[in-house]
Structure 1
């Protein structure tokens, strides 16, 4: 099995070096690069093509959220992005997730949990700290219940299926799949596949 290639982005050298040492000593993880701000992160990520990026939020110059948005504009699904920060306000959490982050942990998270989170994200699973779960829960339940078919579609999307693959599995057309997803987005109050999966996961819908 190939090691999970990671990039560490943090403006504090001590924190950055600590993360590099921690990840570098973990089985199945390789540190492919580091960056001290969002702008440099975009350059490093473009060059090394990591599987997972550990991203701080508040940095001089280009912030973590700005960097996440730029990365998602390039590629909606890769690399997987884990926000690792000291800030746990609802604004920070929602801002990061809405920008396209796949996970959110605080810097006081235990070493083993951070390592597990990297592997989980690489495998396509969501990773959210309790503070992030609380922020999502504060948004309330869906404005309207999802239908059984919409949940089927969402579960297949969560498993990584394309719209075409979902249609094949369910015996429906790709256009119908898109229609179901649009209804899901509206009911969950989100604007894209990744956000729908994250929200549905934390609400226990998938």
Structure 2
């Protein structure tokens, strides 16, 4: 059973997310929080697997809560809830090790799938949020970003580039393994090696790098 915490300062949002998640037979919402400080405390107390954090919350916002959870409970996978108007925060969340991003108007099935992916150790990037994440990283011209990305990717072996390309497509470790005829454990080893070589903090950063490199 995947243990989930939902943190949002709007009760109706929390209730809606709880209703969606508890419709899945492998997910349990074990705690709810109305601010970031409470979210950190409850995530530790209830030993949650996945925390859904809204970016804008009182007392401690979602980004600060993500950073604190990274220090206090690094085993907790954090999904950031965002809206179309908040893409300027996404880069900060990536740097703090967020497991993925969801728009608040995501479909119920997407929300459930994101929680499952995060619990499995995979990153999840909402299709609706992909453009906004990419835009937030696009401080340099596309040509320059592509050149820089290709230079970094050149340090990888051919097999590592194959794995990175599938990360860029958003595939899970299991799906990547099936595509490349590798075990899931082997894929995890490759992913760890790729992140280290590329100096990426998480899979989402690596996936965006793969897109810039046109893999």
TM-score over 0.5 for the alignment?
A: yes
Q: TM-score, normalised by structure 1?
A: 0.74
Residue 144 (str. 1) matches residue 151 (str. 2): yes
Greater share of helix residues, 1 or 2?
A: 2
State the match for 1:63 in structure 2.
61
Q: Deviations over 1:2-43 (max 9, x none)?
A: x11100000001111111122122221011111111100111
Deviation at 1:151, TM superposition (A): 6.5
State the match for 2:108 in structure 1.
111
State the match for 2:198 in structure 1.
184
Q: 1:150 to 1:71 in 2, by over 3 A?
A: farther
Q: 1:154 to 1:19 in 2, by over 3 A?
A: same
State the match for 1:99 in structure 2.
96
Q: Helix, strand or coil for the counterpart of 1:144? A: helix
The separation in 1 between residues aligned to 2:162 and 2:102, in whole angstroms, is 25
Q: 1:148 to 1:101 in 2, by over 3 A?
A: closer
Deviation at 1:199, TM superposition (A): 2.0
Query: How is 1:23-34 mapped onto 2 (pairs within 5 angstroms)?
Result: 23-34=21-32
Unaligned 5+ runs, structure 2: 139-144, 165-171, 174-183
Q: Deviations over 1:35-83 (max 9, x none)?
A: 111100111011111111111000111000000001112244x211111
State the match for 2:19 in structure 1.
21
Is this contact kept in 2: 1:88–1:131, CA < 8 A? no
Residue 48 (str. 1) matches residue 46 (str. 2): yes
State the match for 1:172 in structure 2.
none
Query: How is 1:121-136 mapped onto 2 (pairs within 5 angstroms)?
Result: 121-130=118-127, 132-136=129-133
Pairing partner for 1:11 from 9, 12, 27:
9
Deviation at 1:133, TM superposition (A): 2.3
CA RMSD of superposed structures (Å): 3.1
Is this contact kept in 1: 2:6–2:31, CA < 8 A? yes
